[in-house]
Amino acid sequence: MPEMISVEEARDLVLSHVEALPAETVPVLEAAGRVAAADLKSDIDISPFAHSAMDGFAVRAAELAGASPESPVELDVIAEVAAGDTFDGGIEPGQCVRIMTGAPIPDAVDSVVKYEIVGVVTGDGKPGSRVAFTAPTAVRSNVREAGEEARAGEVIVECGEVINSAGVGFLAGCGVVEAPVHRRPRVAVIAIGSELVEPTQTPSAGKIRNSNSYALAASARAAGAEPVVLPIVEDTQEALAAAINAAVRDFDFVVTSGGASNGDFDFIKPVVEELGDLLMTTVNMRPGKAQTFGLVNGTPVFGLPGNPAAAYVGFEMLVRPALRKMQGYTCFERPFVMAKLTRDAKKRDPRRIFLRSTLSRNEAGEYVVEPARNQSSGLFGPIQRSNCMVVLPEGLDGRTEGSLVKCILLDVNEEVCL
């Protein structure tokens, strides 16, 4: 039987047995938040032409070289170029063109002066008007050059890069309407326990509603996976073996809750050992010491405890990283900050403890953290009201009020660096 291992050893073990899933091609809008499975290139220069960065007047910079408030340079406005239009006519000395943001820069000019700092001598600033400039301008001022953001054939999103919302727009502008991304893992979520009933039922004596499956499915979805809640499995080894055998045929990852300890009705460990390779049974953490992991027909199977907090913490620390790796992500640890405890945190268990907690700032702008009063592993409520987990390291040394402690952020993605 595998021995108890550290959280880091457990995470590395799980990660070593999963790989990024094959690519699938999706519409670019559906690629947001996913990992590119190939280099993506632009089909044209972006922008395909030099254009104005603002509303103003397109001029030759040399003509404004001596402009000042005392000696303004006056030019005649001979045309107006809107976004989407072009101006191919000639522009003589002493002339300029009114131009809108995004409009192509005529070949005969080399700078744009923004509208607000140009005086109108006669007319309304449109063609036929005469305008005055009171300061010089630099060549190519307020001009966005052709190919400034990308050149035709240039890689604009690299393989392995996470495509964000702006990236979707960038890809669309470069003509990429479909993108290859790593497939999302399909995750089977199975609750084990003869005492469980569906949430639609009112529990009778000795029964409780199956809440774990829904929390774990939601956690899998938050990790980018595609979860499916399967029927509750009764507390028999035969029933669980049949459910696991069926699940590994149709899913990329199987997560169970319940039946992970060493009681008479705890069967996930013997089932994984019987059907495949049992690789892990206990982790030096609280809540969630009982963490079962193995492979059945090559498919990862993870058995989480039945207590809600233990299942949730185990998922966050060990299952979520695996599901992210299967999607091509390379960051597997939530970011953390150091914060001051608002009260003492005693420690009577030598395991590493994760306290469900609330992080905020005090009047001085410092991070402070308040652990939930009730840390029972049987409760979902404190997790709902928490935004972080305080980490108390292995050993029996607690922490006093005001001590700096590590706070793992539960509402910030792994790619964020703090």
Q: Looking at residue 417, what is its pLDDT?
A: 75
Identify whether the C-beta of residue 78 lies closer than 8 Å to the C-beta of residue 127: yes
Return the exposure string of 226-238: e unless at least 16 CB atoms fall within 10 Å of the residue's CB, then b. ebbbbebbebeee
Cα(384)–Cα(367) distance, rounded to whole angstroms?
20
In three-state secondary structure terms, 107 is coil
Q: Which two tokens stand for residue 343?
A: 């009260």
Identify whether the C-beta of residue 353 lies closer than 8 Å to the C-beta of residue 397: no
Identify whether the C-beta of residue 303 lies closer than 8 Å to the C-beta of residue 282: no
Cα(263)–Cα(267) distance, rounded to whole angstroms?
8
DSSP H or E run through 247: helix 237-250
Q: Looking at residue 260, what is its pLDDT?
A: 66
CATH topology (fold) of 51-144: Molybdopterin biosynthesis moeA protein; domain 3 (2.170.190)
Q: Looking at residue 3, what is its pLDDT?
A: 84
- Domain residue spans in the chain? 7-21+184-326, 24-45+151-182, 51-144, 336-417
Cα(284)–Cα(269) distance, rounded to whole angstroms?
17
Identify whether the C-beta of residue 326 lies closer than 8 Å to the C-beta of residue 182: yes
Measured from the Cβ of residue 383, the count of other Cβ atoms closer than 10 Å reads 18
Cα(240)–Cα(321) distance, rounded to whole angstroms?
25
Q: Scanning the structure block, which residue is given the tokens 């073996």?
A: 241
Partners of 356 in beta bridges: 389
Return the exposure string of 190-216: e unless at least 16 CB atoms fall within 10 Å of the residue's CB, then b. bbbbeebeeeeeeeeeeeeebebbbbb
Residues 6+ apart with CB under 8 A from 311: 212, 215, 216, 257, 288, 304, 305
Q: pTM to 2 decimals?
A: 0.88
Cα(142)–Cα(297) distance, rounded to whole angstroms?
62
> Chunked in runs of 10, what are the mean pLDDT values of the chain (418 residues)?
88 98 98 97 95 98 97 98 94 97 96 97 96 98 95 96 97 97 98 93 92 96 98 94 97 91 75 96 95 97 95 97 98 97 95 97 96 93 96 96 97 88
**CATH class of the 7-21+184-326 domain in this structure:** alpha beta
Q: Looking at residue 301, what is its pLDDT?
A: 98
**Best CA proximity match to 257, nearest among 207, 297, 217:** 217
In terms of CATH, what superfamily is 336-417?
MoeA, C-terminal, domain IV (2.40.340.10)
**Best CA proximity match to 320, nearest among 409, 190, 222, 386:** 222
- 118: Cα within 13 Å, side-chain hemisphere: 29
DSSP 36: B
Give the chain's radius of gyration (CA, Å).
Answer: 31
**CATH class of the 24-45+151-182 domain in this structure:** alpha beta
Cα(111)–Cα(91) distance, rounded to whole angstroms?
13
Tally: H helices and E strands in the chain: 8, 26
Q: Distance between alpha carbon 234 and the CA centroid of its chain, in Å?
A: 36
